[in-house]
Chain A
Amino acid sequence: MPTLLHAIAGYFILLLTIRLLSRRPGSQMTVFEFVLVFLMGGIIIGSTMGNDRSVTNATCSVIMVALLHRSVSHARNRWPAVGRLIDGTPLLLYQKGAWRDEVMRQMKLAPEDVLAAARTKGLTGLAEIDYAVLERNGQISILSKEKEK
């Protein structure tokens, strides 16, 4: 029983901490994210399993985490407010020649991040961009002027 409670606590503590770390541009994990994932995962494992390293305990913990994840996913789809809390909402970064300074600053993004996303679509500069959107998964979507037409 304590293991299951520890698994629940660990899941939500990790969820909150990762959510607080904000979205980073780009869908690929950088070395920093790898460090976070492995280190935090390792830390939580210690307290979740405790001294009971049996297969039974590990199996029950894995099932509990899977059940939690499924429940949270269901709640996220069922109630948009929960989805907003867990994933946030897309954010407009650039709109027809103007940066959204507040959003750029709060999300710790630089114009170079948007330009990098534009280059991956074969665009050469801001003159070819109408909108840039930071998506919920951390990717930056670029809507080019050609595409809009």
Chain B
Amino acid sequence: MSSTEQFTEPATDNGPLVDDAVEVGEDLDFQRAWWRFEKIAWIVLSLVLIGDAAGLFGRGWLAKAEVTSPDQTLHVGYERIERAGTPSEMTLRIGSTAVHDGRVRLFVSESLLQQLGAQRIIPQPATSDVGPNGVTYTFPATGSPAIVGIELEPSFPGVHRIELSVPGAQPIEARIAVLP
């Protein structure tokens, strides 16, 4: 086979010519549509940044949430929007009515420990009782309110329902969204 036989496709200019002389390959209609898209995209990206600063995607005041049990015994401060792989802290204030014999018992649902990745509980609980739906911790308590911190670091995105309760008080339920 000679070298010229390899080139069988005729090569010609096939695009529109400017001034019947120059083929540029311009597509001004597409470009105008792209410029419109660019303007919208920059507005959207700016809104994303503003939303981020406000905490719409976690780590800001919009993400912070507080919930108190109807009888005021348990108060929980947490972030309703978490980020996967990013640490955060949940703070629990337990009222004096939940303190019995110098001890406080706190039930924490399994979702808080597994999906939301509870890393550490401060202070260290004296005992931990594992149940079917979660763990009940016992803390020695000398004053009121008793403050317990739970360090979270969720691994995967999703929406998780958590439940926290102390004996004698109505449980607190909340939903926490974890973003990628």
Q: Which residues of A contact B22 (CB under 8 A)?
A: 130-131, 143, 148
- The answer to whether A51 touches B24 (Cβ under 8 A) is no
CA distance A95 to B38 in the complex (A): 25
Q: State how many residues of chain A have any CB contact under 8 Å with chain B.
A: 24
CA distance A84 to B25 in the complex (A): 11
CA distance A91 to B180 in the complex (A): 39
- The answer to whether A90 touches B34 (Cβ under 8 A) is no
CA distance A138 to B21 in the complex (A): 23
A16 to chain B: closest residue by CB: B41
- The answer to whether B21 touches A89 (Cβ under 8 A) is no
Q: Mark A1-24, 1 if CB is under 8 A from B, else 0.
A: 010011001000000100010100
CA distance A89 to B45 in the complex (A): 24
**Within 8 Å of chain A (Cβ to Cβ): is B85?**
yes
**Within 8 Å of chain A (Cβ to Cβ): is B156?**
yes
- The answer to whether A20 touches B38 (Cβ under 8 A) is yes
Q: How far is the CB of B23 from chain A (nearest CB, A)?
A: 10
Given contact pairs A51-B85, A148-B21, A92 touches B26 in the complex (Cβ within 8 A): yes
**Within 8 Å of chain A (Cβ to Cβ): is B12?**
no
- The answer to whether B30 touches A89 (Cβ under 8 A) is yes
Q: Which residues of B contact A125 (CB under 8 A)?
A: none
- The answer to whether A95 touches B35 (Cβ under 8 A) is no
Q: State how many residues of chain B have any CB contact under 8 Å with chain A.
A: 21
Q: Which residues of A contact B18 (CB under 8 A)?
A: 92, 95, 131
Q: Which residues of B contact A133 (CB under 8 A)?
A: 24, 26
**Within 8 Å of chain A (Cβ to Cβ): is B27?**
yes
Q: Mark B61-88, 1 if CB is under 8 A from A, else 0.
A: 0000000000000000000000011000
**Within 8 Å of chain A (Cβ to Cβ): is B42?**
yes
**Within 8 Å of chain B (Cβ to Cβ): is A26?**
no
- The answer to whether A89 touches B156 (Cβ under 8 A) is no
Given contact pairs A95-B18, A95-B19, A88 touches B24 in the complex (Cβ within 8 A): no
A61-110 at interface with B (beta carbon < 8 Å): 84, 88-92, 95-96, 103, 106
- The answer to whether B31 touches A2 (Cβ under 8 A) is no
- The answer to whether A91 touches B31 (Cβ under 8 A) is yes
Q: Which residues of B contact A111 (CB under 8 A)?
A: none
Q: 15 interchain pairs (CB within 8 A)?
A: A2-B156, A5-B180, A20-B45, A51-B85, A89-B26, A89-B27, A91-B26, A91-B31, A92-B26, A106-B35, A130-B22, A131-B18, A131-B24, A133-B24, A148-B21
List chain B positions with a Cβ less than 8 A from chain A.
18-19, 21-22, 24-28, 30-31, 34-35, 38, 41-42, 45, 84-85, 156, 180
